[in-house]
Structure 1
Amino acid sequence: MDTTVEADMAQKKQAGGREGRKSGTPGAFSRWMQHRMNARTNRKIRRGRGTFMGMDVLILNTVGSRSGEPRETPVAWFADGEDARLVVASGGGSRNPDWYVNLIAHADRASIELPGRDPMPVTPHLLDGADREQAWQRIAEAQPRIAKYQSKSDREYPVIRLTRRDR
């Protein structure tokens, strides 16, 4: 191998370039594409169209855990009573999604937008034990593909109940 190519590869690894990235972590292009797709979906939700692949979708507004910057993420949701919604942090199966990390880091600053409505502040509740199991059963019945997706993962997906927070 040419020494300049070796030196270039070593430099990219030190700088966190593609060769130094862990398998499964998104690169700049992937993050850019995800941002564009999210923005497009968010526009549709704001215009009143809140379904994707047969699932109801809302916009989850969080604050970046490290950056402190506002984040908007379309997320599938499942009804849980009159004023609560359940969301699942599947994150591609192998790790928690960024929105989940942000939500946990700044729970007091979370809000949701339902199709065609103004943002509503919410309080996230991470479910565990019997509460999680009951919620998971309802989610799996409503959307069997999520249960199939979960069965392929080595980790248990967090289930979060979002309840309306008084301003």
Structure 2
Amino acid sequence: MAEEVSDSPNPWVADHIRRFVETNGNARSGMNDLLLTTRGRRSGKLRRTALLYARDDDRYVVAASNAGADRHPAWYLNLVADPDVTVQVGAQTFPARARTATAEERLRLWQLMISMMPSYREYEKATARDIPVVIIEPSP
């Protein structure tokens, strides 16, 4: 029996996940969205969220912006604790490993994320924390 996955408690994100699943990953036309499933660092349960991504060769790049809040999103804290994740892009689901970009990598990848979604600039201005950029690499 498959392990149960809990979707984000945020109503907007939960609705986006539902639309993503119903449309095989085409919830927002023209947007690069993926579903990321992490293991809860305290609960041990599987948690799923929807994120905008950019491609960097064969890697997926996401930003832990939390819309500019002063705290990291739960999904980011979960993958720091356990970097083995599951990703769905379109109808394809695959295991992957996630890590925070190094400071050197972040410089280039943050600009890539801003090019995908210019509002990341505003999120960066709204918070005192450095917004982590996460690199997700499909597992072999």
TM-score bracket for the superposition, by shorter chain length: 0.7 to 0.9
Residues 126/165 of structure 1: CA separation in 2 closer, same or farther (3 Å cut): same
Per-residue deviation, residues 87-144 of structure 1 (Å, max 9, x unmatched): 1011242100000011111112x11011222x21111121122211011111112221
Structure 1 vs Structure 2 CA RMSD: 2.0
Q: Output the CA distance in 2 between the equivalents of 1:90 and 1:72.
A: 16
Q: Residue 61 of structure 2 corresponds to which residue in structure 1? A: 86
Q: How does 1:133-152 map to 2 (within 5 A)?
A: 133-152=107-126
Output the TM-score relative to the length of structure 1.
0.71
Superposed displacement of residue 39, structure 1: 3.2
Q: Given that residues 45 and 116 in structure 1 are in contact (C-alpha distance below 8 angstroms), is that contact kept between their aligned partners in structure 2?
A: no
Higher relative contact order (CA 8 A, sep 6+): 2
| Greater C-alpha Rg | 1
- Flag the structure with higher helix content: 1
Percent identity, please.
27
Q: Output the CA distance in 2 between the equivalents of 1:54 and 1:100.
A: 25
Per-residue deviation, residues 24-76 of structure 1 (Å, max 9, x unmatched): xxxxxxx85x1x43332222222224454963211101111000011111111
Output the TM-score relative to the length of structure 2.
0.83
- Flag the structure with higher strand content: 2
Residues 53/89 of structure 1: CA separation in 2 closer, same or farther (3 Å cut): farther
Is 1:95 matched with 2:71? Answer: yes
Q: Output the CA distance in 2 between the equivalents of 1:153 and 1:53.
A: 29
The runs of at least 4 consecutive aligned structure 1 residues that moved more than 4 Å come to 51-54
Q: Given that residues 34 and 51 in structure 2 are in contact (C-alpha distance below 8 angstroms), is that contact kept between their aligned partners in structure 1?
A: yes
